[in-house]
Amino acid sequence: DRNRVEDPGTDGDRVVASYCELCFWGCGVLAHVKDGRVTKVTGNPDHPLSKGRLCPRGAGATGLLYDPDRLKRPLVRTQKRGADVFEEVSWDAALNKVGEGLLELKRRHGPEALALFSHGSGGTWFKHFMKAWGSPNVGAPSYAQCRGPREAGYLLTYGTPLGSPEPIDLAHARVITLIGSHLGENMHNTQVQDLADAIGSGAQLVVVDPRFSVAASKARYWLPIRPGTDIALLLAWMNVLVEEKRCDAEYLAQHANGLEELKAHVAGKTPEWAAAITGVKAELIRDSARFIAAARPASLIHPGRHTTWYGDDTQRARAMAILAALLGSWGRRGGYLTFNKMGLPPYKVGKEMPHGGKGAADKPRNGGYPVAGEVIASGLCDAATPGHALYDLKGWMVYGCNLIQALPSRKQTIEAIQNLDLLVSIDVLPAEICGWSDVVLPECSYLEREDDVLAPPWREPFLALRQEAVPPLHESKPGWWIAKELAGRVGLGDYFPWKDAREYVDARLTLGRHDVAEARRRGVVLGKVGPVCEEEGLAIELGTDSKKIELHSEELKRLGFDPIPNYVPQEEGPAGHFRLLMGRAPTHTFGRTVNNRLLAEPYPENEVWVNAEAAKALPGFPGPLRNGERVWLVNQDGARSGPVRAKVTQRIRDDCVFLVHGWGQGAKRLRYAHGKGASDAELVTRYKVDPIMGGTGMSVNFVRLEPVGRTA
Amino acid sequence: MTTRFAMAVDTVRCVGCNACVIACKTENAVPEGGFRDWIAQEVHGAFPDLSMQIRSERCNHCAAPSCVDACPTGASHVAQGGVVAVARNKCTGCKACIAACPYGARYVHPEGYVDKCTFCLHRVTQGRAPACVETCPTRSLTFGDLADPDSPVSRLLRSRRFTVLREESGNRPQVFFLA
């Protein structure tokens, strides 16, 4: 029969519910298993974050599971550190070596000399290990290299950081303002779903970005701002709101402190003043301000996520938070909500955790970063260089984060590494950091393991289960097993009394009086939905000491910082150079997915975006740079990356270039990604530290383009 | 009236994330280098006066499919619901259909036959949505039966402005792009 329907037969014989870890949003997935293989991964309709839909990375999970370059067996370094030369050893030999190294470290320097860098859900087992071990040095680049300034800015203004997933009401906002955030390319599934629903129901966008992002292409107003001048724009917007009495006066009178100081501060900071600084026309600034104000309180200033740009980032986040307050959107529908977490009792360990003496070693010896709410990963890195911090770090465990690309200044990171007595990495793939490690422990991917229950705050609170779809491939092992085995080798076995992660999770679910079998079948337990904003009956409560929104921050004043944000000009680059900006592509999660062959199909490597006019006459080029031509990127200090394809486009200003982060991998055992594209991280030889919270502003580097083939 | 499958692609909602592409590749076990659907971005204007349309594209399952006319063996045919399909056992891989398709919607499978989007007929005949439609995070894709005036796709095409690609081909494409 010629009309026979070809069925590719990818539906599973078994479908296992779990939650995704191709990024850290944690969407619910269904893994289809047939003949012992995962054929496809689809969205779990019951899960509040995915609602049955997955982004490309989530759908591309099999590309990670079956990546031929995965770490297969434990590795022990045989040559000098960084040579990336190892021998394969048994698990017993590798764990014994790590155990001995840890005990030696503790004997000589105390337990605090060990730090854990952890990004990913399996990291909870190693965090537990660190508690039992007695070290407070647990951090992740996701704070001081990513969302930290935002957390500090909102903490100072509203008394609470935002966390992840952000409690924002995209779905009900009538106007959504994105400031340097390229949601849609930055693919946080639920937020993109909500954004599309908002657009579908007529919500309008205002997008501030030097690049004509996907979001900008859908915006009512696009403000192609000169990089580094966002605070000037935000102050001018406030000026329009205040001068034209477009603020929510009643809301501010009830909930905010410092309105008079703010009014005085923004007087004179007119759109005309900001136009000269930002390169955005005064009329466009004024019109967009009025447009944003007209939709209040359902006028959402999106808080952004990757916010470590120029070193004054907490102040920029403050300006955004203050603007949101003027709109009366905190605590209101279409603005910022209050989500709840579903509680779950802890597993009863039955042994007291040791009470540590020392605080974390993440800050310089002479102090600093008074508003840091989490441990600063770059500070933990610096603390390995002797004499920098209050005490020195001598050992690192690195779980699932490639510090070589995640931290600024590769040179500084490598210097720190060379001071360590012990560097152990736990990873699924041979990331660059693995090449610098003494011992590499291969973890299995999320589809091959059980982890702790995930219970993020959300409109609809829930518990989500991580479940093994197929047994670990090769000789990889789940994080829970590695942590437990390690604990046993350093005398901490009593802190890991569970047989395995499954027993651990079942015990917690049972203590919480949940139906374990049903939870495992469905992959998720849904909690009660309560009111999340004033319109639903939830009174606005502020977490600040004053119980008010701090438009003018007494705390910052006391600490010696500007109580209301000021625009301070950024340093410009050398002639012929472009400011280097970085961002995301929807198919990738930093460097974690660049080796994924499935995801590489639509997006095989990154490109450097160059303005089409600027590309016509680049210094050192014999003629116009052609679209698709490969170039080197060379920064102000001579660091180079590439060759990378040029995307010659009208979609970016002529004073900056743009790269998607994660490419230009130096790890030679990532056979697909190795040497493809360019690394923005390699070009971040300079960074500017945010004095308020320790974030590392990385968009302060400048590059020139160099034709390929002319390299000295 | 007989079933006429069609798709509406909402270019206002679509962010071009490629979830449709990856979901299709895993659902249909599409080999490396082959695509049954893809993302197109069309930019107009000069900085800073720009516009861009983002489209999730695939076979248009034309009502007058030039690929079917071009096929010398009868492998390319019109299947259930107007879906343009390839009978693998009749396909010699001659590529006449590839030359005839105005949309670049077909590729040669490593096993020698020509492959393309089937609207996931194996799923839709069971009452399930095509894989791309099911996963699309922005709900940009609406699949359904144009012969049913109450189907979501029929309703959308009544209420929204839309265009088709290469109308001048005379192929009468059945994938509609909502603007």
Q: Tell me whether residue B179 is exposed, middle or buried, using C-beta atoms within 10 angstroms of its C-beta: 0 to 12, 13 to 18, 19 or more.
A: exposed
| CB-based contact, B25 to chain A, within 8 Å | yes
Amino acid A355: pLDDT: 74
pLDDT per position as a tens digit, A332-365: 999 999 999 999 999 999 888 887 778 999 999 9
Please work out, in degrees rounded to the nearest 5, the angle formed at the alpha carbon of residue A82 by the alpha carbons of A78 and A83: 55
Residues forming beta bridges with residue B54, ordered by sequence position:
B41
Mean pLDDT, range A59-87, rounded to an integer: 97
Angle (nearest 5°) at CA B116 between B112 and B120 = 125
Q: Give the separation between CA A67 and CA A74, rounded to whole angstroms.
A: 17
Q: Dump pLDDT digits (tens) for A518-562.
A: 999 999 999 999 999 999 999 999 999 999 999 999 999 999 999
CB burial readout A412-449, b (16+ within 10 A) else e:
bbeebbeebbbbbbbbbbbbbbbbbbbbbbbbbbbbbb
Residues 84-143 of chain B whose Cβ lies under 8 A from any Cβ of chain A: 85, 87-88, 90, 118, 121-122, 125, 131, 134-140
Stretch A11-35: mean pLDDT: 97
Query: For residues A204 and A561, what is the distance between their CA atoms, to the nearest angstrom?
Result: 35
- Is a pLDDT exceeding 50 seen at residue A577? yes
Residue A1: band (very low, low, confident or very high) from pLDDT cuts 50, 70, 90: very low
pLDDT in tens, A229-256: 999 999 999 999 999 999 999 999 999 9
**For residue A184, what is the nearest residue in chain B, using CA coordinates?**
B15
| Chain B residues in contact with A45 (beta carbon < 8 A) | none
Best CA proximity match to A223, nearest among A185, A177, A268, A267? A177
Residue B155, chain A, CB below 8 Å: the answer is no
| Contact state of A5 with B79 under an 8 Å Cβ cutoff | yes
**Prediction pTM value:** 0.97
* Average pLDDT for A100-108: 98
Q: ipTM of the assembly?
A: 0.97
| Distance of alpha carbon A478 from alpha carbon A400, whole angstroms | 12
Q: Which tens digits make up the pLDDT trace of A625-676?
A: 999 999 999 999 999 999 999 999 999 999 999 999 999 999 999 999 999 9
**pLDDT tops 70 at residue A710:** no
Beta strands in chain B (DSSP E): 5-10, 37-46, 49-58, 76-78, 84-86, 107-108, 114-115, 141-145, 162-163, 175-178
| Confidence band of A4 (pLDDT split at 50, 70, 90) | low
Phi then psi dihedrals of residue A636, to 5 deg = -65, -20
Helical H segments across A349-426, by residue range: 377-382, 403-406, 410-418
Give A6's pLDDT tier (boundaries 50, 70, 90).
Answer: confident
Could you tell me the two tokens for A7? 């069925």
- Rounded average pLDDT over B4-10: 98
Quick one: pLDDT at residue A709?
74
Average pLDDT, rounded, for chain A: 96
Compare all CA atoms of chain A with the CA of B134 and give the residue at the minimum distance: A53
The answer to whether the beta carbons of residues A146 and A186 sit under 8 Å apart is no
pLDDT digits (tens, 9 = 90+) for A440-486: 999 999 999 999 999 999 999 999 999 999 999 999 999 999 999 99
Q: Which of B54, B80, B122 sits opposite A6 (nearest CB)?
A: B122
Q: What is the share, in percent, of chain B residues with pLDDT greater than 70?
A: 100
The CA distance from A588 to A596, in Å, is 9
Share of residues in chain A with pLDDT > 70 (%): 99
User: Residue A654 corresponds to which amino acid?
Assistant: D
A5–B80 C-beta distance less than 8 A: yes
Measured between alpha carbons, how far is A236 from A223 in angstroms, rounded to an integer?
13
Lowest mean pLDDT segment, chosen from A3-17, A520-534, B78-92? A3-17
Question: How far is B22 from chain A, CA to nearest CA, in Å?
Answer: 6
Mean pLDDT of B22-27: 98
Quickly list H helices, chain B: 19-27, 66-70, 96-100, 121-124, 131-135, 152-159
Q: Which two tokens stand for residue A533?
A: 């904003």
Output the pLDDT for position A357. Answer: 77
Question: For position A361, what pLDDT does the model report?
Answer: 96
**Greater pLDDT, A166 or A6:** A166
In chain A, % of residues over pLDDT 90: 97
Under a CB-based contact definition with an 8 Å cutoff, are residues A143 and A376 in contact? yes
